[in-house]
Structure 1
Amino acid sequence: MTMPPFITLALATVLSTSGTRLSAIAIPWLVLTTTGSPVLTGLVGFAELLPYVLAKALGGPLIDRIGARRIAVWCDGLSTIAVALVPLLFWAGLLTIWVLLPAVALIGVLRAPSDAAKQALVPTVAALGKLPLERVTGIMGASDRLAGTLGAAGAGVLIALLGPAPALLANALAFFLSALVVTLGIPRLPAEPPKRDPSTSYRAEFGAGWAVLRNDPVLRGLVIMIAITNLFDQAYAIVLLPVWVRSAGLDVTWVGIFLAAFSGASIAGAAIAATIGHRLPRLAIYTIGFLFAGPLPMAIFAVNAPVAVIVSVLMVSGFAAGFLNPIIGAILFERIPAAMVGRVIALVGALAWSLMPFGGLYAGLLVDNFGIAIALGVTAMLYLLATMTPVAVPSFRQMDRRPLVQA
């Protein structure tokens, strides 16, 4: 029996994102345990994410030209090879920090168009299934959270059993299966890629996408706020959390357990958002979701609460955060013209991730100079200030409106 296209896309997202979550734990842990340096750990995150951001921003017009399905398949297939290079270099005894840096940069370049292409397929699979956008973005949000849970939990186990470098083979396999699922499960559509004027230049298409983003106050506000919070999320995920775990005398499996507790609970939140998201007040849920997503988890680590309390807080926080992606996704697709989905979604994603390359460096320098408790406390306070933006900026109030975008 053939799966509906939106289920196929959700499965591909689970596969590729869970592999990415695994590498997001394995690679920083590899650097941290071999060098002992939070700064070098942050540098590796920078080396992957800066190329990711640039490739995502520049690849948007290609998604609209070539087609989101084709880009997703090819980039996931090439990512399989790129990720597999890391354990191969490790076994060959060639994996120094200076070899790892260009290797992760290549992974970032290939991941970016694939992530944007999968997101650009959302309106297509929603139309095929005759489903409201909140339903499909909710399913995709739950898929992303499920991937985070599986990737985090799997990373802890695989790294403990095999070591961080060999564990990356699971990431390579996940990318391969994602490419296969999209190839077999999402049909080639006559409308993909959309018709375009062959005389239109790449620069003009990129500029048109930028104009859509620049002229929409809701999209502008979302991108700026998410870019700031992503900086702190990245600092937490690749430096602050692993350093806290090591300083507490725990092993790497606890990094996976903490991340899985948050992501696992967020699946329930995303599932509820998929069911009733179109009836919820977006601005209120958005603000509350961010409050629980960042400041609260970081604060509980900063005060060195007992592990059982930390896990409980992470589960509550994850549940609330699960409502965010379905709401954000629905807002984006409502406000972006159908013919420009690829380039605008890619721009939104790139700009939202634009500060993430600096997250690890920020956290590494903060930990080196002030210690892990102060680093967590300062980051929690800065995250809280960013979370209050929707209350202070009037343009955010427009997110509760549901405009009809032009085709």
Structure 2
Amino acid sequence: MDGAGSADEPEAERRTVRPLHGVLAAMAVSLSGTAISAVALPWFVLATTGSAARTGLVAFCEMTPYVVVKLFSGPLVDRTGPRTVSWTTDLVSALAAAAVPLLHALDLLSFPVLLVLVALIGAARGPGDLAKEVMIPEAAERDRIPLERAAGLSGVIERLAATVGPAAGGSLVALFGPLTSLAVNAGCFVLGSLIIAVTLPRGMGYTAEAAQPPDGEGGLGEAGYWRRFGEALAFLRGEPLLLTIVVMIGVTNLLDAGFSTVLIPVWARQSGNGPAAIGLLGGVTGAAAVGGSLVAAVYAHRLRRRAVFFAGFLLAGAPRFLVLAADAPMGVVLAVFAVSGFGAGFLGPVLGAVLYERIPRRLLGRVNAVGDSVARAGVPLGGLLAGTAVTAAGLVPVLLAAGAAYFVTTNLAGLRREWRELDRAGRVAGRKPNQRAHQGR
């Protein structure tokens, strides 16, 4: 377990890389591995079963444990320390991912066994991703980097992973098959675990407040756990803006999950473009999103957040669905995905800065866990519903319906009064992180 305030912590910090660099590097390799798997796993299922419904079921079995375990892991991350949670869960993900090609080579990989393994990967990824997110604001403070810039750099890393991962995954699948890509995914998880365990100081992310729980909280016993969990729920209930963001992102995440795990692979197969096209689309989208994230990291604090946020969603949402439904030439498809990626690059920095500003540091792990899990609650259903819908109605009607739902969701949400707070939050960017959240409201 990580200890807080150890005597050798300053020396440890001198021996390590800068904390933000370590966290971002670990995020980069683990997210890249996940993006590679997002190409390889659906293609493996489609190639071996020929079923869009089974492809959606695999996505469901990975994301359901991801959401559920992440939801309840917040108190554990806050109490145990995100550094320990991050490197241990990455190792579990690596073992489960490596088991897929190994068991297939031994002719022991039945479809039910595959579902169990992807469920284990999802269950480990949930708290692992949360732990890395929780360390971002403290790492920014240690490196004296503005919070919005740190959130922007985190967004850049996510977009880089979304660029490199699908491109590498598509190329690996085309050249060596999907199982090789899954083995690479396992290696990425191992590398991410080592980066966190070796480069970050032991006290990283383990705050003094977490080390000394209030009287009666009882540490991580049953009563203490549920008290900590209840604090997160109570905080979110008192934040209408955060609740509105969570609900809207929840709907778009459901649509995005169905799009990436089922609709794009089915389109690639029916159009004859193959798995390389999946990687190419992901690479173009991610590269454009990196550009958007870099611009946002430099200029986001000077712009009106609400305008940036909804303009980004207008570009990043419905156009992707509609261009595939229109059976447009590949050049047009790539251009639309590039524009969508650029718009999406502005979303993460805005959301990250707002969350870090409004959530007290001692609640960060558990509030992020609850909010992110609710926002991702529809993700397991996305692939399942998309696979069932494509089987029943065909690809084009599903693309049109999903694109319309995306447009309506993101535009109607902007009419609610709570979104005015998005711009107000920007006015406190010069204060210490989370200072606003500690003030009386």
Q: TM-score with structure 1 length normalisation?
A: 0.97
1:214 to 237, 240, 254: 237
Q: Which residue of 1 aligns with 2:214?
A: 197
Q: Which of 330, 333, 336 is the aligned partner of 2:359?
A: 336
Does the alignment pair 1:152 with 2:152?
no
Q: What is residue 6 of structure 1 aligned with on the other side?
A: 20
> Within the alignment, does 1:119 sit opposite 2:151 as a pair?
no
- Provide the residue aligned with 2:326 in structure 1: 303
Deviating above 6 A after TM superposition, structure 1's stretches of 4 or more consecutive aligned residues are none
* Counterpart for residue 367 of structure 1: 390
- Cα distance in 1, alignment partners of residues 318 and 349 from structure 2: 21
Distance 1:156 1:329 in 2: 29
Residue 24 of structure 1: how far off its partner (Å): 1.3
- Whether 1:131 aligns to 2:163 is no
Query: In 2, Cα distance between the equivalents of 1:202 and 1:342?
Result: 13
Aligned-partner SS, 2:438: coil
AA matched with 1:405: A
For 1:188 and 1:406, how far apart are their aligned partners in 2? 27
Contact kept in structure 1, 2:83 and 2:204, CA below 8 Å = no
Change (3 A) 1:167 1:198: farther
Aligned position for 1:166: 180
CA distance in 2, matches of 1:199, 1:87: 48
Q: Trace 1:335-354 onto structure 2 (pairs within 5 A).
A: 335-354=358-377
Partners of 2:319 and 2:337 in 1: how far apart?
A: 8
Answering whether residue 403 of structure 2 is matched by residue 380 of structure 1, we say: yes
Letter in 2 for 1:127: E
Letter in 2 for 1:309: V
**1:281/1:388 Cα in 2 relative to 1: closer, same or farther (>3 Å)?**
same
Task: Give distance in 2, aligned partners of 1:2 and 1:57.
Answer: 31
Q: Does structure 2 retain, via aligned residues, the 8 Å contact 1:262–1:317?
A: yes
1:82–1:103 Cα contact (<8 Å) kept: yes
**Separation (CA, whole Å) in 1 of partners of 2:137 and 2:412:** 29
| Residues 279-298 of structure 1 mapped to structure 2, 5 A cutoff | 279-298=302-321
Report the Cα distance in structure 1 between the residues aligned to 2:181 and 2:357, rounded to whole angstroms. 40
The equivalent residue for 1:405 is 437
Equivalent-residue separation in structure 1 for 2:385 and 2:204 (angstroms)? 46
Tell me which of 54, 58, 66 is aligned to 2:72: 58
The higher radius of gyration belongs to 2
The alpha carbon displacement at 1:2 in A equals 5.1
1:197 Cα deviation after fit: 3.2
1:327 paired to 2:344: no
Partner of 2:96: 82
Give how far 1:6 is off.
1.1
Matches of 1:398 and 1:229 in 2, distance apart?
21
Matched to 2:173, the amino acid is I
CA distance in 1, matches of 2:118, 2:176: 20
Stretches of structure 1 that go unaligned for 5 or more consecutive residues are none
The verdict on how the C-alpha distance between 1:359 and 1:387 changes in structure 2, with shifts beyond 3 A counting, is same
The CA distance in 1 between the partners of 2:241 and 2:226, in whole Å, is: 25
Structure 1 residue aligned with 2:276: 253
8 Å CA contact 1:55, 1:109 repeated in 2: yes
Q: Is the 8 A contact 2:135 2:205 kept in 1?
A: no
- What is the root-mean-square deviation in Å for CA atoms of aligned residues? 1.4
- Structure 2, gaps ≥5 residues long: 1-14, 218-223, 429-435
Instruction: Tell me, in whole angstroms, the C-alpha distance in 2 between the residues paired with 1:13 and 1:191.
Output: 15
Amino acid at match of 1:81: L
State yes or no: 1:72 paired with 2:86.
Answer: yes
C-alpha distance in 2, partners of 1:351/1:218?
Answer: 14
| Deviation digits for residues 260-294 of structure 1 (CA, Å, limit 9, x no counterpart) | 11011100100111111111111111111111112
Q: Which stretch has the larger CA shift, 177-186 or 349-358?
A: 177-186
Mapped to 2, the partners of 1:149 and 1:191 lie a distance apart of 28
Superposed, which structure 2 residues align to 1:383-394 within 5 Å? 383-394=406-417
- Structure 1 residue 28 displacement after superposition: 1.0
Distance 1:262 1:191, change over 3 A: closer
Specify the SS of the correspondent of 2:274.
coil
CA distance in 2, matches of 1:265, 1:141: 12
2:44 alignment counterpart: 30
- In the superposition, the TM-score normalised over structure 2's length comes to 0.90
Q: Give the paired residue count.
A: 407
Secondary structure of 2:173's match? helix
Q: State the distance in 1 between where 2:250 and 2:226 align.
A: 24
- CA offsets 1:224-267 (integer angstroms, 9 cap, x no match): 00000000000000000000111101111111101111011100
2:83–2:205: 8 Å Cα contact kept in structure 1?
Answer: no
Give the Å deviation of 1:191: 6.7
**Distance in structure 1 (CA, Å) of the matches to 2:305 and 2:147:** 14
Distance of 2:164 and 2:216 partners within structure 1: 46
2:34 & 2:280 partners in 1: Cα distance? 17
Question: 1:5 & 1:352 partners in 2: Cα distance?
Answer: 28
Deviation of the 1:374 alpha carbon: 1.1
Contact 2:254 2:382 in 1 (8 A): yes
1:389 CA displacement: 3.0
Letter in 2 for 1:182: I
Measured in 1, the distance between the counterparts of 2:178 and 2:216 equals 49
Q: CA deviation at 1:189?
A: 2.3
How far off is 1:198 after superposition? Answer: 6.6
Contact 1:390 1:397 in 2 (8 A): no
